[in-house]
Amino acid sequence: MENNSNNLNQVNMPMQNNIADDEIDLRELFTAIWHGKWIIIAITTLFAVASVFYAINQPNIYKSEALLAPAEQDQQGGLGALAGQFGGLASLAGVNLGSGGGVDKTQIALEVLKSRQFTSEFIQKHNILPDLMAAKSWNRETNTVIYDEELYIEDQNKWIREVELPFKPEPSMQEAYKEFSEIVSANKNTENGMVIIAIEHVSPFIAQQWVSWLIQDINASMKQRDVLEANKSSSFLTQQLEQTKIADIRAVLYKLVEEQTKTIMFANVRDEYAFKTIDPAFVPEEKFSPKRGLIVILSILLACILSVFIVLMRYFSKKK
């Protein structure tokens, strides 16, 4: 029995020694860090100075936003009601009234606003390509935008940026769309249906102006779409009236023409067709970004972690 116990102890001893060797001695860690304190201080100081210079050289970004409410659409009294009452009769004349549920005009308007076609037309209409792609900073005293001279010469209205094919010195609309998508946001609150449109730019005045233009243009675009569709529908319905002699169907078609006429009339008299402005865009006084203090703090923390890791790696590599 004693021999067996001695054998077990002899077997367990190497295992215990290995476990003890694998355990991390905290005092040894602190000793290693203390011996490498100047390396840690040097790396942290270097990162801190670099982050301060980086944060200072970053231009202020201002954010302007507007609060909008979807313009009310009459889904029940117009075509929706007719679809429920006379859908069968109208189908005899080849007219599809659709369902009475209607469509989410607000979501359609937001998707149009984010589309490439609308963005390209917006950039070209207001000639904002230099302010979008070459703006470097903003002069508060003169309220002027300072452009990156390596990209754009303002006096000559000339693009001089150096790029490789297939790109050209003057940015394409595809490039402009990507850049514009990064600075614009249009979000709908699912709880109350309100919409917030916002723009970020180095100039607070440009940010405010672009938000106002976006609201005007999306309202005009949605109005134009509905008027064009109503005119086409009216022409089609008029042709159907000439081809049918059934009194009930003609009554339905007359009612449909009346509804399309109402759509055209309301579109022409309403400037805020898709969205009603609740809180208009403003010129922000305070910057939105960058968070310079946060940049410096995160850089210092990263430097501390990196420098401690380097010191420990050097210490244990020498120990081996």
Q: What does the pLDDT average to over 213-221?
A: 94
pLDDT at 91: 52
Query: In the chain, what is the straight-line distance between the N-terminal and C-terminal CA atoms, in Å?
Result: 42
| Sequence ranges of the domains in the chain | 23-57+293-319, 62-288
Q: How far apart are CA 204 and CA 193, in angstroms?
A: 27
Q: In this predicted structure, what is the pLDDT of residue 3?
A: 52
Looking at this protein, which amino acid is placed at residue 100? G
What local confidence, expressed as pLDDT, does residue 111 receive?
92
Decide: 139 and 146 in contact? Cβ < 8 Å. Answer: yes
**Residue 76 — very low, low, confident or very high, per pLDDT cuts 50/70/90?**
very low
Report the SS3 class of residue 201: strand
Distance, CA of 31 to CA of 7 (rounded, Å): 39
| Sheet architecture: strand order including 62-70 | 184-188, 195-201, 62-70, 275-279
pLDDT for residue 24: 56
Whether the per-residue pLDDT at 8 is higher than 50: the answer is no
For residue 190, name the pLDDT band (cuts at 50, 70, 90): confident
Residue 75 identity? Q
pTM: 0.74
DSSP readout, 17-85? HHHHHHS--HHHHHHHHHHTHHHHHHHHHHHHHHHHHHHHHSPPBEEEEEEEEEPP---SSSHHHHHHH
Residue 235 has pLDDT above 60, yes or no: yes
Q: Which two tokens stand for residue 188?
A: 């709908």
**In which band, very low, low, confident or very high, does the pLDDT at 73 lie, cut at 50, 70 and 90?**
low
pLDDT of residue 203: 94
